[in-house]
Every structure is written in structure tokens, then in C-alpha cells.
Amino acid sequence: MSLSKFESELLTEWLSEMQSNEAKYKEPILDIRCSILLKEVCSMLRQDIHVFVFSINILEEYISRKTQMQQDINDPALTLMATVFISSKYIGDQDLKSKYIESVLRKISGQRVSSKTLKLKEMEILKVLDNCLPLVNDVDDLNTFIVKFEKESKIKATIIPLCMDILEMLYLTRNQWFFELKVLYTNNNEALSVFKRLMKNRLYLPMGILLYVFNHTLYTHSFDVSEITNDLSVHSQIHVDHLNALVSKIHDVIGQIPV
């Protein structure tokens, strides 16, 4: 089904905004175990990838600011649950009740907290964040980019579910592959500066995921992937070598998934 003129214009405008507005450069803080726990909590609460990714962004920003303030994080389990609760209210698919948050908290930590305690923790997190939640979400960026590409290339079957699964895996393992990729750019300050610009570019990750899909599915027989890579490189002003380095790292991550 083709998009309406309004939808097409909206996608074009959103893509332009992605290209012109950089994300904030930040290095991963959560380790894989914490990311997996957060994902499991989201699954238990029936929250989708939007809430999972948004929760990671909020929690890492909170931890970063608490570190800058030289303050310890008391009650990590409650903090994690309150973060998911905040995310669900902002971007979730359903209206979560505090009793469900409290129930899951008992399951993962044995803690029993009141709705008031949970509310106070939410308020403390928001206060540390100056009541400003992250505006950039990789899920929306990826979805917008892929929808636009699908429309323009007339792909018959949507590849969004597969791309979202890859994005989820990249977030689960981000503390590992991010720094492995960074090593490739640590030869000098100029190279490191390039890496930071890449990680701030909101098109970099979506393009890497798209190219990985085309390189490792049957689509590789339907499209000239090299031509697509060169075309994306020109439009994004990201060198082909940088795109290929990301695709290679995504391949490493996916290859580590147990069959």
C-alpha cells in the first residue's frame, strides 16, 4: 500500500530533521546483564521496544548525572522499575498501573514498596534529569528511515520487524560492540573525533542495520547492495568504509546469538 501525499511529506520532513539534528554523544553505561534484566522487565510488563530503548536512555542519563553529582544510586532495582514506569507513561502502548510495577519488583528483588515510594522515586529521577526526557529515540529514527526506504525502493514485504529485532540486540549488547568499534578509531584524536561524529549522526545506526539486512538476507539477490551503500554514503556524507565497519560489527553481534 502506497503512502498518502501527507504521509510521504511527513516522512521526508522527519528524515530531514534526522539529518540536520545530531543526537548527543554518550558512551554506554549499563552492562549486558542490566540491559537483559531491563528487557525482561519490559516483557513482563508487556512493553515494546520503544519502552525498552527509552528506558535505557533515561537510566543511563540518570546514572551519568548522579555520577557527576558524586551521589550514589540507592536501591538500583527500584530505580530500574521507576524508569520503566516513566518510559511507559511517555511512550508506552498501554496505561500501566503502579500495582504491576510493584508486583514485578517483588519478583525480581523481593522488595515490597508502596505506590507512594514508587512515586517518590519517579519524582527523584525526573528531578535529576531536570524534568527533561530524551527527545531522540532510535526506534522512531529507524522506523522512519526504513519506511521511507521501503516506499522509494518498492520493497514488497516490510523489513521493519527484522530491523527492530537487530536494533534490540544492539541495545542489549551495546556496552560491548560500542567500545569494540571505538577501538578502530583510537589511532589519533582526529580519528576519535570522527567516531564521535558518527555516533551522534542519527542516520548512522539505521543505515548500518538496513545494509546488514540487505547483505545477509535474500534481498542481496534483489538489490545491488554496493550501489545502495554508495548512494546512502553520498546522501548522508558518511564514508562507505564507516558504514561497512558498522555492518561488520553488527554481523559480529548477530553471529554471537545462540542458535
**pTM for this predicted structure:** 0.89
The residue that leads in pLDDT, 94 or 180, is 180
Q: Please, which pLDDT band fits residue 241 given cuts at 50, 70 and 90?
A: very high
Least confident of 197-201, 217-221, 241-245: 217-221
CA 66 to CA 68: how far, in whole Å?
5
Query: How confident is the model over 198-209, as pLDDT tens digits?
Result: 999 999 999 999
Domain ranges of the chain: 32-128, 138-255
Q: What is the per-residue pLDDT for 17? A: 76
Query: How confident is the model over 110-138, as pLDDT tens digits?
Result: 989 999 999 999 999 999 999 988 777 89
Are 214 and 168 contacting, i.e. CB atoms less than 8 angstroms apart? no
CA 61 to CA 1: how far, in whole Å?
39
Q: What is the per-residue pLDDT for 259? A: 43
Q: In the predicted model, is pLDDT for residue 37 greater than 90?
A: yes
Query: Which DSSP category does 60 fall into?
Result: H
Q: Cell numbers for 181, please give them.
A: 568499534
C-alpha closest to that of 191 among 237, 258, 120, 239:
239
Q: What is the DSSP code string of 194-225?
A: HHHHHHH-TTHHHHHHHHHHHHSSGGGGTS-H
Q: What is the per-residue pLDDT for 22? A: 80
Looking at mean pLDDT, say which of 56-70, 133-147, 224-238 comes out highest. Answer: 56-70
Q: What is the per-residue pLDDT for 257? A: 64
CA 85 to CA 97: how far, in whole Å?
9
CA 235 to CA 206: how far, in whole Å?
14
* CATH number for the domain whose boundaries are 32-128: 1.10.472.10
Looking at mean pLDDT, say which of 86-95, 121-130, 144-153, 233-242 comes out highest. Answer: 121-130
